[in-house]
Amino acid sequence: MTRRARIVAVSVLLAAVAIGTTLTAGAASAHAARVSADPAENAAISTGPARVSATFNEDLQTTFVAMTVVGPDGNLWSSGQPQVRGPVVSVGLRPLGPTGNYTANYRVTSADGHVVSGSWSFRLTAPGTGTPGPTADTSDTDNGDIPVWPFIVGALVLVGGAVLWQVRNRP
């Protein structure tokens, strides 16, 4: 690689990194953020509410919403389809069973189209008489944030193309 080609390659790489960083920072600041939950995070409750809900700082889109509640036994304790109303996402809750931590997992879509996922837990302090749903499918509750690798692949393609162009057009 010539000295000039190397300089161009490094310049393009730096530009790609700068653009990628700007895009990522801009996207992150525009995401919907969870501002409260019911039951609250780490709350100790003796009976479960009829629904579990999370409230965000902006209205959510009503598409591609997922929400589950998984009990200390690894079973699903949520029931029915999650529902979005303005900035609030909620799902029905069965009468609870064993004491311990129940974790609410959610995946919603921000007004800007970005997917936001997360979870919080609350604790049941007195055993209930409810029966659980099926065993939770944990593969559906992983982090659904936008992956970074397409940006990296894009930057590599840019750099490769620039180097090739330089080499081919060398006088």
Which residues share a beta bridge with 66?
107
String marking each residue 99-128 x if it binds Cu ion according to CB under 5 A = -----------x-x-x--------------
Residue type, 21: T
Q: Give the residue, chosen from 15, 19, 27, 88, that forms a contact with Cu ion under the rule CB under 5 A.
A: 27
Of 25 and 44, the one with the shorter C-beta distance to Cu ion is 25
Of 134 and 150, the one with the shorter C-beta distance to Cu ion is 150
Q: Where are the alpha helices (DSSP H) in 41-123?
A: none
Closest CA to 119 of 97, 136, 96: 136
22 binds Cu ion (CB under 5 A): no
CB of 57 to Cu ion, least distance (A): 12
**Rounded CA separation 129/97 (Å):** 5
Closest CA to 122 of 137, 109, 148, 104: 104
Closest CA to 136 of 52, 74, 73, 65: 74
Q: Give the residue, chosen from 7, 10, 17, 30, that forms a contact with Cu ion under the rule CB under 5 A.
A: 30
CB of 24 to Cu ion, least distance (A): 10
- Which residues here bind Cu ion, judged by CB under 5 A? 27, 30-31, 110, 112, 114
